Chains A and B, each alone.
Chain A
Amino acid sequence: MHAAALNQYDADAGRVVIDEHLGHPGIEATTLDYGQINDDMLAMLEKPHPSYFLLLLGFLTALVLGVISLAIQVDVGIGYSGISHPIMWGFYITNFVFWVGIGHAGTLISAVFYLTRAPWRTAIYRSAEAMTVFAVMTAGLFPILHTGRPWLAYWLIPYPNERMLWVNFKSPLLWDVFAVSTYMTVSIMFFMLGLIPDMAILRDEALRRGHKLKALIYTPMALAWRGTNHQWVHYMRGYLIFAALATPLVFSVHSIVSWDFAMSSVPGWHTTIFAPYFVAGAIFSGLAMVMTVLIPVRVVFGLEQYISTHVVNSVCKVIIFTSMVVGYAYATEFFIAWYSGSPYERAIFYFRPFGDMTSWTLTGDHNITFPQIAFWLMVFCNVIAPIPLWRYKVRHNLVAVWIICGLINVGMWFERFNIVGSSLQHEYDPASWGEYWPTIVEVGITVGSFGFFFTLFSLFAKTLPPMAIMELKEAANPPMKHSPKEH
């Protein structure tokens, strides 16, 4: 929203002059004007191509698969999954952390980059925000469905009751309840607030075309927006306040999620580095997911002018940075494990990359198991795969960026699995060491979670403007009398 304020409109040239020092607006502002933006954005909400329904059907199938898996699990018992003693948390908590992580990019882009004046966020922040809301919705399901008695999950909410039962505020799981629900509430409100001016555009368009149903939906969401100066002043101030509110949440949510692990006594979990490590990882995976989704969107809808290579380039720079943070955290964990002198810590950090120590096995043999594969996959995808992004050419090659971001998504999932799965396999008591193999039901629910997320995102892409129309307009040529494309 300050792109226009920062980049000066050159009346002589009849266009905005981009000052790279002040920040690139992300879109090809020099060639766009209000009318074209309006048309392009509204065109995205037109009746979809049949292939859209095909895609949606695919996502819905995945979702239904997940719902069926869940129904069976609730009916039979959580023993239907592969989670077992001593690995009491498996795919579900991995998925929870993964999706909460995905949910970080949106608020980071919309709030943090707003406050830190990174105007290239303009074209992507709406989609990223939507992803945040959907990812947190997805994530929020997992702590519930992973419990033994999900129908009693509401007991984690401190509500007054005649049995005088209360919740345990010492438990990190309770902190989770508050952290995630707060984050979700603020994310949704921030998202809805940002939508108001665009909703007014859609409302007007629906009224103009006589779409009664659309008008019925968009009118209340527009909250009687008329675009008066008075409204804009309040709106901008409100947006700023929300951005300021949301910013600490970006850091707090994943910190608290990390404390689910860090507050425990489990070797490999009990470490102070987890909060920054998790936040960096969340931003890392969140941005990778934004790229994974938006690069195809850009191609499908022909949005080259909006999601310019500059945006991709900028996101890639943040990805490189967070990749380094994550890589550094990995290295630190190993150093601390060695430095602590704790045999349990050392054992788990030996186990993760190399497998059983020879002194553990009966005859002094060496075993390699699944966690080692997960570990090296994590290192490759999160530390090694992003290295090519250091090159300008790679950052501007959309196919390369898309592949690398896809790998990062895989790597970050395995990072979470590595944390959740491998530590629990080898805790303090060797007689209780175990292995973890997921069953069909966990795979089903995991696939279902992707189905849930992408179904919601697909619906979003066709019902709400995936880009902030009014912010795009701010960055573009204002409608001037002598402008050649004036309507």
Chain B
Amino acid sequence: MLVPPTNFEYAPSEAYNYMTTCRECDAACGMMVTVREHRAQKAEGNPNHPLNQGALCARGQASMQALYNPDRQAAPSSKAGGALTWEQGLQEFTQRLNTAGGQVVYLGRPETGTHKAFVAEWLQAVGGGRKVTFDLLSRNALIEANRIAFGKAMVPDYAFEEAQMLINFSSDFLESWGNQVENSRRFVNMHAYQDGKRREFVQVSPQVSLTASKADRWVVINPGTEGVMALALAHVVRNQKGGYDWLERYLEAYAPEKVAAVVGVEAEKIVELAEAFSNETPSLALGGGPVAATEAAVEMQVAINILNAVAGNLNRTVVFPEFSPAEDTSHQQIVDLIQDLNAGRVKVLVVDDSNPLYGLPPELGMAAALQKAYVVSLSSLKSETAGAADLVLPALTPYESWGDAAPRAGVRSLQQPVMAPVNVFDAKAREDVMITVAKGVRRSAFEGITTYKDYLQKAWMQVQSETGRSGLFDNFWVSVLEEGGVFGSTPTTNVELANSVTRVSLPTPAANEGLTLLASSSLLKADGSGANKPWLQEVPDPMSQIVWDSWLEIHPDTAKEMGIDDRDVVEVTTSQGTLSLMAYYYYGIHRNAVAIPIGQGHEGSGAAADGFGVNVMTLLPAKQDASGNLVFSGTAVEVKGTGSKGYTVNMDGNPRQAGRDIAAATTVAALASGEEGHGGHKRRTEIYPDRAETAGYYKPYRWGMTIDLDRCTGCSACVVACYADNNIPVVGKERAAVGREMSWLRLERYFEGYGDEFETRIVPMMCQQCGNAGCEPVCPVYATYHNPEGINAMIYNRCVGTRYCSNNCAYKVRRFNWFSYEFPAPLDQQLNSTMTTREKGVMEKCNFCVPRLTYAKRQAKALGRDLRDGEVMTACQQTCPTQAITFGNLSDPNSRVSQLAMRDDMEQRDRQYEVFPELNFKPAVTYLKKVNTREVGGHSDSAEHA
């Protein structure tokens, strides 16, 4: 089309932001989707939303690739007859329901919003049946323990920011445990160094996850002994604090000296930790996650509840809402469902995007059970479960359909279609399909409702009256669409520890003879639903830095004893089977345990997922804890080296920084004594005048950034956001293996120290926009040059591709287009239309989101003024849950970034530093040192060896 039509909004660079809800996990963060040219191009957090406050996690960012996934269900099909028309598909579905005689099961994810009532009404309309929820990473053990301990079967609100000290029992609360974004923000607000202090975070766990890498101390316990450890701590804390006399006898058995051998921690260390915990009030203990999901998971959660109670944390840092909108998430339901299926008690099984066939241990027999019923898949994406369905009716993604969620009492988040359905898929909204077939079964069903939008609006009329908003519903509706929902405060209620907890007996965990297998959580793949998104495969796991693969975390001491080298292929055998994968030397794992992350090893979830890594769930026996939930850890495992090397695709060139202080850290003591900083790196006298004094430069803007390593959790959301906003291609496993990954922003992970005392440091590294760059003078054709706003601009069209700039970049942040990369359709529809794509043979790199700057400046110009501080955000900064990244104008001494970077006041700096200052590249990115509570031993001083 030569001339765009004028009768609808069309401007290539003009962005429309729609508020909706992220449905990647049950946390249901508010989302703001940027739509240009009628295509959703970028997902960001809804700044109004109380939970995520504008930030999104890596998976939320990558949800865009669920929308445009080339492996979406494209058209209705049946196992028997192949491709179908929608009419045929709907007819088949209706017919099956008609003959089901009420033996219908809707298998779906746990819902919090209107969908609960909708499914109930639908089941009634089609003649009866029930809903079964499935969430692989369910927190039902915690909910059950809260029911036992407090009579509240729900997840409490953890007020991290109130806690003076945090003890975490194996949970991955910065990864997949609860609302990761909210947890990260609140945790960092508690933990980050401020006012000369830091509040301690202690990890008690057999494994160091990304969450645990933020801990100030790692207390290594034997696998499965979190509960015992919690009670041992409670014993000491109660003795010290008094109160809860009725617990004295119960806790007597858990005196530190009695359980020291069981948990594998010396009694003195337990006492010391408990005393520290008891001295800080309020404090917070929490636990859970797959690593702690043993058969005694509920008892462990009760133990943690007791610890919180005796430490005086109840109703202070552990706050219960009055009610919870969440559905029951117990795995018992699906175990029952399998029984019913096998017994022939289910005729029609309707499945949404849930993927139990992948997630459940094969011992449960889900695959065979699915054969027993007529399975209708209403999924948008290909999955193992959808592949086993008899009838597939493609559903729209949350980006294209209506919905809502109530992630917390008082918080209602609306999900609206932000664009017309992606044109290459013939899909319909899941709920609309359900309404249609319900009407087919019973004409009177869903009276006065034709689409789910009608149903939703009806439900929201109720919301309007509940929230007491007066006026026309239409006005209310528009306002909630604009706001993204109704965000009220959560009513809370006080709880007390029930005496009945003493009846809970914590089984003493029997230690496995050999190694214990821990199915650990995966930040990016979560329950496996992340695996079919190329971004989440290509972005390295921040801890192992491995991409497109699974790995076996094994302690070097253990591995060496067994003759297993780093990156060797090993065979891992449990009672359930054998998997072969790559051994990864890792200090952050108990010497008698090995860990495999959940989420890989798909067979039928699309090209990006299938064949990469292994599925650890296939190694697990079908055990359940007291709440019915599946057991993820504690399985005895045998590991055997095969002698061959693994096909390693890890993105860290070297695990250690060789004493180069790229990821620098200081200690609280050093900061308090004033040893740190204070003229550490003074500005030197130079022959040449500073660029700021050169006409035309840095006025009114010089863009700069600060990154607070003490706030950075390594969640990788920034990396995915960068991929999304800058049209960065995904290169795949083979090319990543030889270093051709294109990420403009990477998280460098360095280990310091050895053994249990090791420390992890993560530093986000992107173009430092140097004021005296190495890349600029060596380019023979000025394809990269210093622009007046201080950005090392890259002119792709001018680049010949000598790659000298990359050689001369000390930070190694330049990426080269080795090939003409493709964005397989319809992933190309996601491309940011304000940003170019690059052809083979040219260099590219971070440019501080130039299109965003241009757009913001244009808007400011229309108002006749300069940009104000905070009016423009880079993609990485925008999505950072902990606000570790600050971006702004260094030429303005009052901007937040100037205040933080303290470039004009070098003598007063304490945590600020630039990377490689001695090279005099004058980077525009200032890092703020991570703050440790102690010195880490074994700091390398490799330079002295030469």
Contact = CB atoms under 8 A, between A and B. Distances in A.
To the question of whether A and B form a pair in one complex, the answer is: yes
A153 interface: yes
Nearest to B560: A363
Interface in B871-918: 916
A458 B819 CA distance: 37
Given A170-B777, A432-B812, A434-B739, A149 B655 contact: no
Contacts of A428: 660, 810-812, 916, 919
Contact of B817 (A77, A86, A172): A77
A78 to B, nearest CB: 6
B807 A168 contact: no
A370 B840 CA distance: 29
Interface string B524-562: 000000000000000000000000000000001000100
A343 B801 contact: no
Contact of B807 (A89, A149, A343, A364): A89
Interface string A149-179: 1001101100000000111101111100100
Nearest to A334: B946
A428 B777 CA distance: 19
B934 interface: no
Given A79-B740, A359-B945, A85 B801 contact: no
Contacts of A155: 781, 798, 800
Given A148-B817, A359-B941, A86 B812 contact: yes
A304 to B, nearest CB: 48
A392 interface: no
Contact of B781 (A87, A168, A362, A431): A168
A120 interface: no
Interface centre among B654, B749, B777, B815, by most A CB within 10 Å? B654
A433 B749 CA distance: 13
A147 B800 contact: yes
A76 interface: yes
B781 A86 contact: no
A210 B218 CA distance: 95
Contacts of B807: 86, 88-89, 264, 266, 424
A299 interface: no
A84 interface: yes
A380 interface: no
A17 interface: no
Given A147-B801, A177-B780, A347-B658, A85 B806 contact: yes
**In terms of DSSP, what is the predominant structure of the interface of chain B?**
loop
B244 interface: no
Nearest to A175: B780
Contact of A357 (B741, B843, B945): B945
B818 interface: yes
Nearest to B839: A149
B746 A171 contact: no
Contacts of B916: 428
How many chain B residues sit at the interface, stated as a range, is 35 or more
A361 B946 CA distance: 16
Contact of A156 (B741, B749, B780, B815): B780
A148 B941 contact: no
Contact of A89 (B777, B803, B945, B946): B803
A466 interface: no
A153 B781 CA distance: 10
A83 B841 CA distance: 12
Contact of B946 (A147, A337, A431): A337
Interface string A335-366: 00110001111110110000001011111100
Interface residues of A, number: 62
A106 interface: no
A77 B798 CA distance: 17
A64 interface: no
Interface in A421-480: 424, 427-434
Given A88-B816, A171-B804, A360-B656, A430 B662 contact: yes
Nearest to B654: A430
A331 to B, nearest CB: 14
B820 interface: yes
A110 B817 CA distance: 44
B652 interface: yes
A371 interface: no
Nearest to A173: B780
Nearest to B735: A79
Contacts of A260: 804
Interface in B412-457: none
A336 to B, nearest CB: 11
Contacts of A433: 653-654
Interface in B556-581: 556, 560, 566
Given A148-B816, A264-B808, A85 B740 contact: yes
Contacts of A79: 735, 740, 818-819, 840
B712 to A, nearest CB: 15
A89 B801 CA distance: 11
A166 to B, nearest CB: 7
Contacts of A171: 777-780, 804
A342 B658 CA distance: 13
Interface in B598-652: 651-652
A54 to B, nearest CB: 39
B806 A347 contact: no
Contacts of B778: 170-173, 263-264
A88 B806 contact: yes
A148 B801 contact: yes
B684 to A, nearest CB: 17
Contacts of B659: 343, 359
Contacts of B654: 360-361, 430-431, 433
Contact of B658 (A165, A264, A360): A360
A266 B777 CA distance: 14
A156 B800 contact: yes
Interface string A58-94: 0000000000000000001111001111111100000
A182 interface: no
Contact of A166 (B782, B815, B816): B782
A264 B774 contact: yes
A265 interface: yes
Given A86-B739, A155-B798, A359-B659, A168 B820 contact: no
B793 to A, nearest CB: 14
Nearest to B810: A428
Given A89-B803, A156-B800, A148 B658 contact: no
Contacts of B652: 431
Nearest to B944: A346
A165 B798 contact: yes
Interface in B137-175: none
Contact of B750 (A76, A156, A430): A430
A84 B740 contact: yes
A76 B840 CA distance: 9
Interface string A124-153: 000000000000000000010011110011
Contact of B653 (A343, A345, A430): A430
Interface in A26-82: 76-79, 82
B842 interface: yes
Given A153-B800, A359-B656, A84 B739 contact: yes
A347 B779 contact: no
B492 interface: no
B780 to A, nearest CB: 4
B810 A148 contact: no
Interface of A: 76-79, 82-89, 143, 146-149, 152-153, 155-156, 165-168, 170-174, 177, 260, 263-266, 337-338, 342-347, 349-350, 357, 359-364, 424, 427-434
6 contacts: A77-B840, A147-B803, A149-B841, A359-B659, A360-B942, A429-B748
Given A171-B777, A177-B780, 16 more contacts: A85-B740, A88-B803, A89-B807, A148-B799, A167-B780, A342-B943, A347-B942, A359-B659, A360-B656, A363-B560, A424-B807, A431-B654, A431-B657, A431-B746, A431-B765, A432-B653
Give me the 3 closest cross-chain CB pairs, A-B, nearest first.
A148-B801, A79-B818, A148-B841
